Structure formats: structure tokens, C-alpha cells
Amino acid sequence: MRKAVLEQRCEEMRRRYQPATARSNSVPVAPDPPLTIAEAAERLHMSTDWTRRYFCRVSGVLVIPSPVRRQKRRYTKLLIPVEVFEREWRRFEVAS
């Protein structure tokens, strides 16, 4: 009985976690990776300091804090999804 249940669960997991290309060709395998501050600054032709200050308050940006260590300042890593970057880029464009 246990073996049958285990085999059934294994088969369900195999179906659930098979590669995306095997399931359907219309689904992308992986989304675009998020941009780092340096990459976003390079695309905007701005400094990394300005880019960090601007994107730290934009909604949709992933903020990853470093673990808290005693008597050391906390560092945060900002990851900017491509969709969020493109949305903010459109806000900078000058209407012609």
C-alpha cells in the first residue's frame, strides 16, 4: 500500500516538474533576469548612486536585505525586474 501511494506521488511530481518545453512550446522557459543597480545605471546613463536612490522607492523592485550582523551596517541589494525598469523608462521619455 505504501509503495503504491509513493509511486503515485512520484508520478504526480514528475508530471508537475517536467521541463516547460515538454509541456508546451508557448510558455517561456524562464523570464528575463532582473537588472542590478549597475546594469540599470548603465542603461539610464546615470550614476549608480542616483539609480539606487531612485529605485529604492519604486514599487515592484525587489529589496533583499543582508543578514543583520552586530555593529555592522545593513546592506541591501536591489533587483529591478525588466518590466518595472521599462515602465520607469517610459516615464523619463520626453513627449515629442
User: Residue 38's pLDDT band (boundaries 50, 70, 90)?
Assistant: very high
Query: Each residue of 5-30: pLDDT tens digit?
Result: 888 887 887 877 776 555 555 555 56
Q: Can you give the pLDDT at residue 3?
A: 81
Do the beta carbons of residue 56 and residue 79 sit within 8 Å? no
Q: Can you give the pLDDT at residue 9?
A: 82
- Beta-carbon contacts of 79 under 8 Å, excluding residues fewer than 6 positions away, are 34, 35, 36, 61, 62, 64
User: Residue 81's pLDDT band (boundaries 50, 70, 90)?
Assistant: very high
Region 52-65 average pLDDT: 93
Query: Each residue of 64-78: pLDDT tens digit?
Result: 988 877 777 888 899
* pTM exceeds 0.75: no
